Structure 1
């Protein structure tokens, strides 16, 4: 790729400017469409919906917009200020709470922009594979040599959509099953060259080995894109995420990857852009998510989620709830990465990432997510790896697919798909059918026990290993 020319810098500026304009247009359109009505999540007392619900909701002044009968929930809409109180009195209804929209994608690394590159002059197959130090950390190549490539395993990527025409993703993408639970947005993203979170995650997990770009940890696994977050804002509703989880389970996904996280207070209320919910209502939204993950678990789907990028000590700070990482039946993944890998390829690949959440009570396993050496970054030093030239610190991030190209990012969002890729290899190696508890046990047993012996605050039960 070489140092960025003035043309390349101009292209990057155009990409960022265009993205900003698209976000502004999206928000303006959303505001213009506001009719004064709001959406609520109706949660039944049982994990099934009471009979005659639609008529009773209409009598209370609302409309049933969608239903999630598998977990006893429905999305309802009303412009009546007294609707929630009246609807809560319907027989068989546990609660009616505002379906707030929050930002689920945390900044992967502050100030890191997507970088667009041209294939190195070497002409090697999958030319960017040599930039993927994370595969060395999880011993992916040795797993591939033994036949473990994730074939026959279906992974639902619950995220902000996907570039369905990306050469690294199209071979493994099941377009027929892919779906969106974001109103007004398709499961696939708009065309163009820019950073898209879901595309980066999917590429890390299951980019095809096809002589182009990068290779996923499980290069023969099937990807299903389940859009639950807006590609413009990274935000989504609780009902949308819950619907995505249930849908992924219903299409027999072996794994759900959720590189997303919503942070809510464990006590007290919460407001986002003037939209507020009480402590009781937060508890009900958490209960909704518990029902969704519990349903997927019972249906045989392994759920893997990012632990969060806030550097929280989860053992000491009980004031926050991180969803979905804190939920039952979810495997929470922290992030690791090197400092100065471009300068020394033999450096430690498993340093705890500076941003990752940690704590014995919260972290199940660790995986490569990328790291940053601030001193190296400030130095401005330039390195060349596999024919690609850039600032040395950037090579410690995770390189993967983005919309229309490839780029770097770092975060527990990048760690989760490394772990999901390893899980896909584990499931494929065991005949393609494993209960989630068996998958978690296998991941723990095969993990490299780093840090303190046993369960560690940063590594949990260890950093995942695909070959053991």
Structure 2
């Protein structure tokens, strides 16, 4: 990465099952709320919308894994996130049985109201919802970028999943598919016009809650859930280089910087609907050069 751009000054919200606030690779990079007793933005490091309390600790492990890919610290241990100096806002909106639209919409709004510039969403509901569209429009208008995983239920001609499919309507919403280690679409990864670009999503090593494996709190997971935080991390890098960049400019830089050659398939906008990779594989350096050259 270019010297100097490491996500500093950027708050990345993780809407998920929570984050292990005690993890040695994440602790230093947690967002600290300047006013944790405020009614709009309660909680020191984020909020739990499932239990409605200020403790967004991880209940499953998924959110901690996502958070590590975005911003695990460069501290000589474990893994290093894509943006190792970004701050992580922990928003628990998924519990043991998933999350309701109400929990998720509240989390998306909290992110926009409380200082996040990019929001990682490694989840999807399938159903179209006016509430999701409204809150994504609200946040995008405030300059927030929402990154969504495309989903893991690929079949030919599959129906669009929401809220990720709002990427076709809102320039601040980015849909991320998963590539495998040979840079082809991972077999499980959804594809379609709502996929903006792809990122690594097969066998990704990242942080897991310390309680799950105290001697070595890291594990491999796969899914478009693992691809989205790679893109969220790149967005944080871009924002640390150009903090006032609008969502449209960030998305354009991701699209124009994406590597379409590695996937060995025609990329947007040249392919007919049914393409697999969006604009190609996320490329931090090329996207940064694009953004700074705009």
TM range (shorter): 0.7 to 0.9
Structure 1 residue 464 corresponds to structure 2 residue 282: yes
> Which protein is bigger by CA-based radius of gyration?
1
Map of 2:132 onto structure 1: 289
Report if the CA contact (8 A) 1:173-1:223 is conserved.
yes
The answer as to 2:58 corresponding to 1:189 is yes
- What's the offset of the Cα at 1:189? 2.9
> Which residue is 1:438 aligned to?
249
Residue 214 of structure 2 corresponds to: none
Structure 1 unaligned blocks of 5 or more = 1-142, 265-282, 339-347, 371-396
Deviation digits for residues 187-207 of structure 1 (CA, Å, limit 9, x no counterpart): 1136xxxx6000000001110
Q: Answer whether contact 2:47 2:56 (CA < 8 A) is retained.
A: yes
Match of 1:453 in 2: 266
Q: For 1:337 and 1:263, locate their aligned partners in 2 and report how far apart those are by CA, in whole Å.
A: 24
CA distance in 1, matches of 2:155, 2:189: 7
Give distance in 1, aligned partners of 2:7 and 2:165: 27
Q: Could you tell me whether the CA contact under 8 Å between 1:252 and 1:301 is conserved in 2?
A: no
Runs of 4+ in structure 1 displaced over 3 angstroms?
Answer: none
Q: Which residue of 1 aligns with 2:87?
A: 222
List per-residue Cα deviations over 1:256-300 (Å, max 9, x = no partner): 110011123xxxxxxxxxxxxxxxxxx6xx111100111010011
Q: Per the alignment, in what secondary structure is the counterpart of residue 284 of structure 2?
A: coil
SS of 1:322's partner is coil
Q: Does residue 354 of structure 1 match 2:187? A: yes
* Conserved 8 A contact 2:267-2:277: no
CA contact (8 A) 1:451 1:458 kept: no
Q: Which runs of 5+ in 2 are unaligned?
A: 33-43, 211-216, 287-294
Length-normalised TM-score, structure 1: 0.53
**Given the alignment of the two structures, is residue 364 of structure 1 paired with residue 196 of structure 2, yes or no?**
yes
Given candidates 30, 34, 44, the residue that maps to 1:173 is 30
The answer as to whether partners of 2:195 and 2:277 remain within 8 angstroms in 1 is yes
Contact 1:256 1:304 (8 Å CA) reproduced: yes
Q: Do the aligned partners of 2:68 and 2:207 also contact (CA within 8 Å) in 1?
A: yes
1:240 corresponds in structure 2 to 103
Structure 2 residue 16 is matched with structure 1 residue 159: yes
Q: Distance in 2 between matches of 1:321 and 1:459?
A: 15
**Alignment root-mean-square deviation, CA:** 1.6
Matches within 5 A, 1:39-438: 143=1, 145-175=2-32, 176-183=44-51, 186-189=55-58, 196-230=61-95, 232-233=96-97, 235-264=98-127, 286-313=129-156, 316-317=157-158, 320-327=159-166, 328-329=169-170, 330-338=173-181, 348=182, 350-359=183-192, 361-370=193-202, 397-404=203-210, 405-430=217-242, 432-438=243-249
Give the length in aligned residue pairs: 257
- Show CA shifts across 1:173-219 (max 9, x none): 024241111126631136xxxx6000000001110001111000110
Distance in 1 of aligned mates of 2:137 and 2:52: 28
Structure with more of its chain in strand, by fraction:
1
Shift of 1:459: 1.3
Separation (CA, whole Å) in 2 of partners of 1:184 and 1:296: 21
1:376 aligns with none
